[in-house]
Amino acid sequence: MRFREKKAKYTARTLGALAACILATLPVPLSAATSEIRVNLFLDGSDFVSGERIRGVIDVANSSPGKVSVGYSNSRDRLFVEVFRAGDMSQLTRTSRRQFVSRFSVDSGEGQKLESFLGDHYDLRETRRYLAKPVLVHDGYRFEGALRAFDVVDGVKIGGAMQMFSNRPGLQREFSLVYWSRNHSEHLFLRSHDTGTSSRTWETRDLGAILRIDAPTISILKTGEVVVLHRLNADQLVRSELWSLPDALEFRMREAIRDPESAGTARVREMYREGGVKPKVNPWWKFW
């Protein structure tokens, strides 16, 4: 009996090993073996001032045998970003049904980087921490990227102004100048929202790096032009101009200009370096 039991166990182990070898030699379905798509989200920073569009880049790498296509009339794939509140991980509801990225197609073995603005699809004005995750749906499978954390902050207010509209009684537009650290330097931001007959909040604008040795200024002209002047460095100022009308707020231009107060001193230094100012030489017998 013992010999028969040992022989039966040995036969079972042999058959099991043989079956495993046979299964290993069988072809694996192509979709299960090679279907792999990687999608990642990279943000411009880790914190943003309330009202910014919050720019990010979505990186898609296609290692599947088929083509990834999003946004065309015959496209079956979808690409979007899910946003959650940090802490309770409650998912935000989208405020727009537009595409997160421009339409694209990626063949097998290729990749593509696409620009996306999270603030165009979610209400991200509340100051708190958020988590964002890119998702690509392809052939019924859901491919997810890593969660990216970012903070929305108020910024530190250092100036502001109020605009009244003669042709729109009861409507006021409040502008706030705030600064916050970005890319290892302090940046100036322009926030704006309507009060009175409207409660619309406009896009927050990054006006560039600021040197806070004097306060920035904001001027509102009767024609609707809004001009912000702030210091870039010891010798330069930045002039930002917007067009503000009751139903529109458009950014027009931004330029660096020479500081009038330091321009004369700088020119004198340049002349001495160039040798343009030479001392007067009098004959030895003249003492005047």
Tokens of 14: 């042999």
For the cut 90, the answer to whether the pLDDT of residue 21 exceeds it is no
Q: What is the pLDDT of residue 24?
A: 44
Domain ranges of the chain: 31-153, 156-271
Question: Which tokens hold the place of 67?
Answer: 């083509």
Q: Do the Cβ atoms of 163 and 157 come closer than 8 Å?
A: no
Whole-number percent of the chain with pLDDT over 90? 73
Q: How many helical (H) and strand (E) elements, i.e. helices and strands, does the chain have?
A: 3, 18
Please provide the average confidence, as pLDDT, over all residues in the chain: 86
Taking the whole predicted model, whether its pTM rises above 0.85 is answered as: no
CA–CA distance, 227 with 181 (Å, rounded to integer): 23
pLDDT single digits (tens) 91-115: 999 999 999 999 999 999 999 999 9
- CATH fold of 31-153: Immunoglobulin-like (2.60.40)
Q: Which amino acid is at 76?
A: R
Q: Compute the CA torsion angle 281, 285, 287, 288 (nearest 10 deg).
A: -60
* Residue 120 DSSP code: G
Domain boundaries 156-271, CATH class: mainly beta
